[in-house]
A and B are shown apart, each in its own frame.
Chain A
């Protein structure tokens, strides 16, 4: 089964609004969580990452929220802009073992002007 799951294949938000992207995971051993941005035919670019010893991390317009008991993490993008339109991939890894970074299937975010 999918160890990292993005249930929403797409999300549309108005410019200036908050985009909320969600990710669920299965493996209790995951202790590293990340969000990547990907354009078509391009490689993913790391946006923000967080370790399991914190439940929130902010970087500019981006905030990651981690809910370990719910096995869920999310990315909030405030003041969304048309340039934020892209596929967003969540990923998780366990520091015990090979550090295999496992990706979700992605959510297409569209920010409407």
Chain B
């Protein structure tokens, strides 16, 4: 069975500080991976997607970047956090057989 793990579970960071969020999926070869973000009270938005190692496409510009250094790993980062980056970050993978998305447990970020 596939498992998707996100880290950290929660972060409180200062404005202007760097951020790195991680996502690992096990039990699936060459998964399509996605980063989503939900501001408090907002709608889930897709930020990035990656079909293969080393390739990432940006969907929404939020002064964030993403990388896929390994087949099973997806990283979301920024060098300088903004207050508006606060929210709930979710990693997901899509099963090509049935197109269903499965989400990780998420990282809650508060920027102060």
**Interface size range on B against A:** 20 to 34
Is A98 in the interface zone, CB < 8 Å from B?
A: yes
Closest chain-B Cβ to A106's Cβ sits at a distance in Å of 8
Write the B69-112 contact mask toward A (1 if CB under 8 angstroms, else 0): 00000000000000000001010101000111111111010000
A93, B44: Cβ atoms closer than 8 Å = no
Additional 7 contacts, C-beta under 8 A, given A98-B59, A104-B43? A43-B105, A46-B101, A91-B101, A100-B46, A100-B59, A103-B45, A105-B43
A78: chain B residues at CB < 8 Å are none
B74 to chain A, nearest CB (A): 15
Taken together as a complex, chains A and B put the C-alpha atoms of A99 and B31 apart, in Å, by 13
Pair B49/A46 contact, Cβ less than 8 Å: no
Q: What's the nearest-Cβ distance from chain A to residue B101, in Å? A: 5
- Expressed in whole angstroms, the Cα–Cα distance for A22 and B63 within the complex equals 34
Chain B facing A: main interface SS: strand
Across-interface contacts of A98 in B (CB, < 8 A): 49, 57, 59
Query: In the assembly, what is the distance between CA of A42 and CA of B108, in Å?
Result: 10
Check if B32 is an interface residue, CB within 8 A of chain A: yes
Q: Are B104 and A43 in contact (CB under 8 A)?
A: yes
Residues of A near B98 (CB, < 8 A) are 49
A-B CB contact pairs (8 Å), 18 listed:
A2-B43, A34-B100, A41-B108, A43-B106, A44-B44, A44-B90, A44-B103, A45-B103, A93-B99, A98-B59, A99-B49, A99-B94, A99-B99, A100-B46, A101-B94, A102-B46, A105-B42, A106-B43
Q: B43 touching A103 by the CB < 8 A rule?
A: yes
User: Please, which residue of chain A has its CB at the minimum distance from the CB of B59?
Assistant: A100
Within 8 A of B (CB), among A32-51: 32, 34, 41-46, 49, 51
**Residue of B45, B49, B92, B103 contacting most chain A CB atoms (<10 Å):** B103
Rounded to whole angstroms, the CA-CA distance of A98 and B46 in the bound complex is 11
- Chain B positions within 8 Å of A44 at CB level: 44, 90, 103
